[in-house]
Amino acid sequence: MLLIHCPYCEADHPELEFANAGEAHIVRPREMSNMSDEDFEAMFFIRDNPKGVSLERWRHVHGCGRFFNALRHTVSDTFLKVYKAGEARPSNDEIAKLIK
């Protein structure tokens, strides 16, 4: 059971209070109807699924209820960073630093 820091509750809470909500920073275009089939496929089905740092969404569903984003290493399962929904995606440089 992971221990997850919720950026809204500002505390570590047990995984049982959270729900993983898939890959983060997938942009849903405002003009959906104009998307090509390829773009739709990319948005809805294609996933990074990295062996390394995953940018992912969690919801503190049995806590404050908020969705937020996290960087987690999928081999060690350690969280490198959590941040609120809407905050910018960390740059690759920042991610590389966090791994170290």
The contact set with Zn ion (CB under 5 A) reads: 6, 8-9, 60, 63-64
CB of 46 to Zn ion, least distance (A): 29
**Closest by alpha carbon to 68, among 2, 16, 7?**
7
For position 80 contacting another protein by CB under 8 A, the verdict is: no
Coil, helix or strand at residue 8: coil
Interface mask toward another protein for 25-64; x: CB under 8 A? ---x-xxxx-x-xx-xxxxxxxxxxxx--x-xx-xxxxxx
Rounded to whole angstroms, how far apart are CA atoms 26 and 45?
11
Sequence-distant (≥ 6) Cβ neighbours of residue 12 within 8 angstroms: 3, 4, 5, 6
> Which positions lie near another protein, rule CB under 8 A?
1-3, 8-11, 13-17, 19-22, 28, 30-33, 35, 37-38, 40-51, 54, 56-57, 59-67, 72, 74-78, 85-86
